[in-house]
Structure 1
């Protein structure tokens, strides 16, 4: 292989490994936040964390779809989910508690928030999408790397997973009546989330009342 080709491959490897380091950094921060919540509030907001790094093939496919030249500058500017983390929570209020905690971190930049919980997508999809930037320290420089974080309840994640499987069983358009049923099921999921959160709030209130020692 020509030495210039080898140098170019190494540059791309170094470029992409930065996103892996960013994932490691963010996963560590989220683990610390979750354990801190347990110590202070006796509650772990995070049920599960899953991280992934977009493959080179997927990056190339997306760049071609956008009609952009395959340069590191273009990739960094136009693909913001190379590094991705999905967080599942028990309750909707946990989602916003995690967002507030991330906002308080002085070494995390919040670039963009898309709230599909308050404003669901037309198909009923609900989730909170956050584009963040986190510093990664290399041997001779520091780079701010983007990490997309998606936060949703277990119920929202269940719906999204099944919706994806159902949708891709069709080679062409999904029949309109099935799309409507999928949307209705998303509304049922939202009602379930709200109901379970109300039950949890009531249980917490009763627990606090039981802990109060009568005076006298």
Structure 2
């Protein structure tokens, strides 16, 4: 079926590049304002053909059903500083009208057994090609920097051990995941306390000006 992978993957590459531009533009708008910027950085990728074929074989997906049944051929990752930034980003994405959300999976409230945490959304993104409009599925992952660091290491270990990570390392990874999440929670609390302190300082300055 797939005699020309380049043609098949072209709309996915286009979707990734367009979404990266849009999301980075959103981040830039926040950076130019006085508001906290929920997006730290954005990355994107299209699965290599070898990875597509491996997953199709593992999941029993026919090659002529890839467009409908493989949701992560195209992927966007949005990384933020704080856990509560994730809710802000989810709201921003949900409110957009230039694509449709097909599915959401909250692996933060319901972490995976491995310890993995992230918020996943599958969107249907319209790409305009010379053959007309084409809807492609894109998986969007939203996570903190701590979650991203853990997931990167876990992914590398999965590759090294061909998906069969030794039990003792799995246990250490689970403990590391919990430590990373506690760090996220603590940093969120600190951010809140710093914000409260800043507001008190501003109020005190305003009162001081009025009385002088």
Q: TM-score range by the shorter chain?
A: 0.7 to 0.9
2:17 alignment partner in structure 1: 24
Match of 1:44 among 37, 56, 79: 37
Gapped runs of 5+ residues in structure 1? Answer: none
Asked whether 1:130 is paired with 2:133, we answer no
SS at 2:63 equivalent: coil
Gapped runs of 5+ residues in structure 2? Answer: none
| Kept after mapping to 1: 8 A contact 2:76/2:139 | yes
2:48 alignment partner in structure 1: 55
Using the size of structure 1 for normalisation, the TM-score is 0.86
| Kept after mapping to 2: 8 A contact 1:33/1:101 | no
Cα pair distance change 1:34/1:69, threshold 3 Å: same
SS at 1:126 equivalent: coil
C-alpha distance in structure 1 between counterparts of 2:157 and 2:50, whole Å: 24
Cα pair distance change 1:168/1:25, threshold 3 Å: closer
Cα pair distance change 1:195/1:135, threshold 3 Å: same
| Kept after mapping to 2: 8 A contact 1:127/1:156 | yes
Cα pair distance change 1:173/1:158, threshold 3 Å: same
Q: Deviations over 1:172-212 (max 9, x none)?
A: 84443432222122111111100001111111121222223
Shift in Å at residue 38 of structure 1?
A: 2.5
Match of 1:87 among 78, 82, 94: 78
Cα pair distance change 1:41/1:93, threshold 3 Å: farther
SS at 1:86 equivalent: strand
Farther-moved stretch of structure 1 (13-22 vs 31-40)? 31-40
Cα RMSD after superposing both structures: 2.1
1:146 alignment partner in structure 2: 137
Match of 2:156 among 154, 165, 177: 165
| Kept after mapping to 1: 8 A contact 2:126/2:134 | yes
SS at 1:46 equivalent: coil
Give the aligned length. 207
Q: Deviations over 1:120-153 (max 9, x none)?
A: 1011111111111111112341112111111111
C-alpha distance in structure 2 between counterparts of 1:172 and 1:54, whole Å: 18
C-alpha distance in structure 2 between counterparts of 1:172 and 1:120, whole Å: 19
Asked whether 1:67 is paired with 2:97, we answer no
Cα pair distance change 1:91/1:174, threshold 3 Å: same
| Kept after mapping to 2: 8 A contact 1:89/1:95 | yes
Cα pair distance change 1:20/1:173, threshold 3 Å: closer
C-alpha distance in structure 2 between counterparts of 1:111 and 1:175, whole Å: 35
